[in-house]
Structure 1
Amino acid sequence: MSDVIPFKYNNEEVRTVTINGDAWFVAKDVCDVLDIANVTQAISRLDDDERTMLNIGRQGETNVVNEPGLYSLILGSRKPEAKQFKRWITHEVIPSIRKTGSYGSSIDLSKLSPELQMFKATFDAVAKIQIEASEAKQQIAEVQNKVNTIQETILQRDENWRQKITGMLNGAAQRFGGHQEVRKESYSRLEERAHCKLNTRLANLKDRLEESGATKTKIEKANRLDVIEADPKLKEIYSTIVKELSIGALL
């Protein structure tokens, strides 16, 4: 085992050692950078050949991980900077260790047979694709969560309010000659008092839903009540108008 080689990443120390030409990283240092609180739990999820215990000095036995183990920890991190940290490892740390001759220098790849060189190149390419695919999958999941949140926010409904509005409109409809006429009147009064155009706002709402990736059905179901409910001022004015219509039907 070589001496401990410390590297600095954003003022945080990441210690490394080499064992039989392979780079190993102190697990606690890696987890600190990746905001992984439970080091023991994170290490337990790795394969046996990706982790081990080493005596690196005054700290005694310490958990360390090799490159595959390191990449597994990186993929398990939710920290946005995890990808940047991986790039730092692959573009700075590993090349620096190799430059000292203590990592990757025990085998002269040019002396391998063409078949083995091709095998190694294929293996490296597949490993890179797998890592990138895992990262892409995680990014897609994060984007989908954001999209769902946006859609839920846009169409967040107060069912109790809608039930009350519907109940009052139904009562008014019995007096004024039909639900369609009453709703049309209520929307007309709202546009006059609030100085707004509901159809324009509805079109804008559907555009926002489409941009956020909402389904065609959800977009088509969006209506003027969604527009009114999304604006506290319109909601308050419309509630007053519906109450007036309901009371007027009783007089």
Structure 2
Amino acid sequence: MSDLSVFVFESLEVRFVGTPEKPEWIAADVCAILEIQNVSQALTSFDEDERGICNVYTPGDDNPQGQEMLTVTEAGLYRLIFKSRKPVAKRFQRWVFHEVLPSLRRTGRYEMPKPNQQQNTKPTLDELVNFGQKILSGTRLSAELQTITILRGVQALCPEIAPMAQELVGAIQEIVATPDRHLSPTAIGELYAERNGLSQPIKPQIVNRVLEFAGLQTKEVQIKTDTNGKQSHKNIWHLTEKGKLWGTVTRDKARTHDKIVEHVRWLPDVLEVIDLSVEEN
């Protein structure tokens, strides 16, 4: 049975069952904070090193061995935070990565700061970069995308480096934003079907809807009225800041006229952060 420590985030308890060398949290507690309803479903696609099971005893349990509960490791915690679109996710991420993990690694434990205690535990840039590299090294994201993700994360915690970070991200995207690497929603649906042995590709409308639900793009509905008064609707997609990690905007000449139109295109890596399986049927 795991030793149990209880941390408190914004008055909500988070049970910690790991060690400073191998942090591990009760998944249900993390999901409750992030407002993720179905814990088992949220962890379905997690790799073995991102999730686990431990016996946890709580007062009132009939079984002295406790009950089995799903857990998430440090890498799994990162993925859960990313799944949540709630504002609390950003606050929770900052608390975990800015306070809890540095304290665990420095002292072997985490203590709630006293109200009059000055906080001077901001990690260095090297620590932030090393932390990002450690988390992302076990993923299947490309090297370029890992670098962009780390840069954006460091920028969020250190706004003073924002101009430099934005220049670096722009330079990397200029290298990787090529037509042969960035795919249309149609191509993303075909790639997913090929990887999963489906007889039919996922329709681009569904791919766009899932991308929107994941917070990677937003939709603008453009309404046009012809000379007969008949209206037509066209969806115009725009990348969000979050979506810029995986997407880019290309400009091409329209097929029916000479006007230049914009299209959102995606790196194949985006399939690692969206779930098209719910739309297969």
TM-score by length of 2: 0.42
Q: Comparing both chains, which one has the higher relative contact order based on Cα–Cα distances under 8 Å and sequence gaps of 6 or more?
A: 1
In terms of fraction of residues, the more helix-rich structure is 1
**Higher CA-based Rg:** 1
Q: Compute the TM-score of the two structures, normalised by the length of structure 1.
A: 0.46
